[in-house]
Amino acid sequence: MPRQRARRLHQLAKWDNLVSINTIEEVEEAVRRLSPKELAAFRDWFARLDAAAWDRQIEEDIAAGRLDGLADEALNDLREGRCTDR
């Protein structure tokens, strides 16, 4: 039981450190302290987070019509034979 409690306290202490991060510099320092395994997991998580944010932005831009001009231009280029498959 004492070992489990010590492990739990350690986890809570790590959480407290994360909660107290307030600046980019503190985030950078926390990332520098990650083990290689933790860094790989963080990199994977961040890539998924970043891709999801990009996807949301593209969907918002499409819904708002911000890409309509580009789509029209591309379709016109296709109709006029200015597109290739290479």
Q: Is the distance from CB of 40 to CB of 48 less than 8 angstroms?
A: no
Q: Is the distance from CB of 42 to CB of 34 less than 8 angstroms?
A: yes
Closest by CA to 42, choosing from 53, 28, 56, is 28
Q: pLDDT for 19-31, tens place per residue?
A: 677 899 999 999 9
* Burial of residue 47, with CB atoms counted within 10 A of its CB: 0-12 exposed, 13-18 middle, 19 or more buried: exposed
Asked whether the predicted pLDDT for residue 14 surpasses 80, the reply is no
The average pLDDT across 43-65 equals 97
At 50, is the pLDDT very low, low, confident or very high (cuts 50, 70, 90)? very high
Return the higher-pLDDT residue of 74 and 20: 74
pTM of the predicted model over 0.75: no
Half-sphere exposure of 81 (CA within 13 A, CB side): 0
Q: Is the distance from CB of 38 to CB of 45 less than 8 angstroms?
A: no
Asked whether the predicted pLDDT for residue 61 surpasses 90, the reply is yes
User: What pLDDT is stored for residue 75 in this prediction?
Assistant: 94
* Burial of residue 30, with CB atoms counted within 10 A of its CB: 0-12 exposed, 13-18 middle, 19 or more buried: middle
